[in-house]
């Protein structure tokens, strides 16, 4: 098997894990609150990355800036990325109280379109693919989530704002990744997100051992598989995958979310919703297939 084919299969597995995690997120909230769910699953995500960090340490020091300046960049980068991630996952999790896993997966996937549009603030022009993708995704969002009286369903609106946070997170990681060790950055941001989520959970929700035990399986899947395993697979795969094909494959998490919602939760979108999903997926692919320059 060629390295590129192996990388694509790993990325497809990553997209499948992330997509099916939307089901785990919905089921998990039958036992615990949204902030509790996120706090515990991201804490598990940190623990799941510790063996990889230890393995890296045995191989030798990471090829990242050393010294006090490098340590400051790593620390404050993890804090910033973790807080932006906290905004994204919190809005997504709160939105899932009022919307389906399939719809949440497609709306979250709009970050693929938002990234080049937000790049305008840094003088980056999206190009034809970016604008075409944005228009197609906007039309799809209308069909999927806007009601006949032209209002956005509350849960869909929360997930949509969360997608903006995810787009900002992608841009922030684009700046940080070349400057700090990627896996340690991931563990750091997961730790910050877990701490912020648990702080809100302690203030707003009732945390009980009975609730945690009842939601143990979806929490474990969301933490170990979605956060820990999927991220590790992505890191390994992107050593041999170009950015644009990788982004296209990862955007398929929205399709996996819709499929998992249908198979496991009996969620039906209807013809209008399916047409919206098709437009949104087409917009995501257009934003990546017509890049401004080749990778």
In a domain, 295, yes or no: no
Q: Give dist(CA 96, CA 93) in Å, integer.
A: 5
- Angle of helix 127-145 relative to helix 270-289, nearest 10 degrees? 170
In a domain, 64, yes or no: no
Q: Are 23 and 105 spatial neighbours (Cβ–Cβ below 8 Å)?
A: no
Q: Which domain holds residue 196?
A: 3-59+69-289
Q: Are 93 and 37 spatial neighbours (Cβ–Cβ below 8 Å)?
A: yes
The pLDDT tens digits for 127-161 are 777 677 777 777 877 776 665 555 667 788 899 89
The long-range contacts involving 69-73, CB below 8 angstroms and separated by at least 24 positions, are: 70/179, 70/180, 73/176, 73/179, 73/180
Sign of the dihedral defined by the CA atoms of residues 178, 183, 184, 188, in that order: positive
Q: Give dist(CA 143, CA 108) in Å, integer.
A: 16
Q: Are 32 and 204 spatial neighbours (Cβ–Cβ below 8 Å)?
A: no
- Angle of helix 34-59 relative to helix 182-204, nearest 10 degrees? 160
Q: pTM for the whole thing?
A: 0.78
In a domain, 231, yes or no: yes
Mean pLDDT, residues 252-263 taken together: 80
In a domain, 122, yes or no: yes
Report residue 73 as tokens.
Answer: 């960049």
Q: Give dist(CA 33, CA 198) in Å, integer.
A: 11
Counting beta carbons within 10 angstroms of the beta carbon of residue 122, is it exposed (0 to 12), middle (13 to 18) or buried (19 or more)? exposed
In a domain, 215, yes or no: yes
Sign of the dihedral defined by the CA atoms of residues 107, 111, 6, 21, in that order: negative
What string of H, E and C letters represents the secondary structure of 153-207? CHHHHHHHHHHHHHHHHHHHHHHHCCCCCHHHHHHHHHHHHHHHHHHHHHHHCCC
In a domain, 142, yes or no: yes
Count of domains for the chain = 1
The pLDDT tens digits for 104-124 are 877 887 777 777 777 666 666
The pLDDT tens digits for 8-20 are 788 889 889 988 9
Which of 147 and 72 is assigned the larger pLDDT? 72
pLDDT-derived band at 176 (thresholds 50, 70, 90) equals: confident
In a domain, 294, yes or no: no
In a domain, 87, yes or no: yes
């Amino acid at each position: 098997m060629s390295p590129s084919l192996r990388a694509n299969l790993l990325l497809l597995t990553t997209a499948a894990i992330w997509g099916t995690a939307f089901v785990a997120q919905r089921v998990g909230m039958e036992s615990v609150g949204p902030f509790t769910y996120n706090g515990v699953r991201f804490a598990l995500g940190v623990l799941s990355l510790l063996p990889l960090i230890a393995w890296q340490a045995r191989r030798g020091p990471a090829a990242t800036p050393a010294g006090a300046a490098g340590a400051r960049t790593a620390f404050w980068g993890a804090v910033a990325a973790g807080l932006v991630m906290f905004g994204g996952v919190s809005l997504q999790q709160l939105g899932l109280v009022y919307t389906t896993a399939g719809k949440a997966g497609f709306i979250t996937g709009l970050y693929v379109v938002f990234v080049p549009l937000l790049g305008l603030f840094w003088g980056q022009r999206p190009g034809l693919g970016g604008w075409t993708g944005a228009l197609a995704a906007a039309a799809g969002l209308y069909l999927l989530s806007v009601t006949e009286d032209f209002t956005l369903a509350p849960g869909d609106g929360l997930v949509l704002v969360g997608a903006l946070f995810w787009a900002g997170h992608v841009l922030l990681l684009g700046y940080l990744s070349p400057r700090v060790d990627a896996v340690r950055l991931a563990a750091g941001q997961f730790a910050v997100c877990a701490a912020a989520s648990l702080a809100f959970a302690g203030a707003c929700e009732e945390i009980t051992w009975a609730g945690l035990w009842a939601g143990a399986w979806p929490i474990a899947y969301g933490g170990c598989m979605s956060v820990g395993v999927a991220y590790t697979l992505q890191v390994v795969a992107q050593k041999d995958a170009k950015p644009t094909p990788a982004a296209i494959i990862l955007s398929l998490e929205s399709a996996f979310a819709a499929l998992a919602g249908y198979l496991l939760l009996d969620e039906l979108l209807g013809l209008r919703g399916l047409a919206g999903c098709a437009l949104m997926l087409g917009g995501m692919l257009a934003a990546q297939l017509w890049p401004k320059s080749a990778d």
